[in-house]
Amino acid sequence: MTNLPIQRHRAILDLLERAETARTSDLAAQLGVTRETIRTDLAHLAGRGLLRLVYGGVVRLGLHEPDLQARLATNIEGKTRIARRAAELVPDGVRLALDCGSTTLALARALRARVGLKIWTNDIAIAQELGDRAEMTLLGGVFSVPHNTTTGPDAAEMMAGYNVDLAFISLGGLCAAQGLTDFDRDGLSLRNTMRAMATDCYFLADHGKFGRPAPLRWKLPATAKAVICDRAPGPKEQAMLNEIGLPLILA
């Protein structure tokens, strides 16, 4: 039984990361609470724009990235494992570009023991997390309240003025049919710039991204070393990664 509302909310969102729909009755049975309690939870999450209510249940919002608070509440364990594995690839004294997102924020926390880092990011939470531990450059641009980031052409232009050793980039989705995907042009443009200015880059994708549709498709950068995941994707996604020559690192 999951008693606390925040625990139920996380469980519901985690389930919808893996499936497109869920029935109210099934959620109530799975979480060990009444249908009235689940309806209250679903109404709360729908009010935050994290899912859509339909007759008898809910559906996932697949084509719009959830806000930061929703992403921070999903698959915490898996994202932490990815972050720890990624941190093993970062020696002291290197220059890093860190993309915005819940997984890269977990990576920032895993890097607090490193010394001599120089970091470029558009994520305000990452800048706050490592600002006292590294030389931090916050990329300028238009401020996005839901994601707590800066974005737009100004951010990409500023990033283009720096060379970095490593870039860690969050994927919007990892699909057999669509390949590596993302949600918005400004975000993809900045991530492409981070990739272009890096000697090596790694993609980060927890299992909630597997099979997840998103409207924009990545062109695989030549500097991509691997994608780091918390579990192995399905056979079709794995075949896609093999076809494009992108190695998989399991955390």
- The vertex-80 CA angle with 135 and 203, nearest 5°, equals 70
Q: For 164-218, write each residue's pLDDT tens digit.
A: 999 999 998 898 888 898 878 888 999 999 999 999 999 999 988 888 766 778 8
Query: In this model, does residue 63 exceed pLDDT 50?
Result: no
Query: In this model, does residue 146 exceed pLDDT 80?
Result: no
Pick the more confident residue, 73 or 250: 250
The predicted structure's pLDDT at residue 247: 95
Pick the more confident residue, 28 or 4: 28
CB within 8 A of 134, min separation 6: which ones? 111, 114, 116, 117, 118, 119
Under a CB-based contact definition with an 8 Å cutoff, are residues 202 and 86 in contact?
Answer: yes
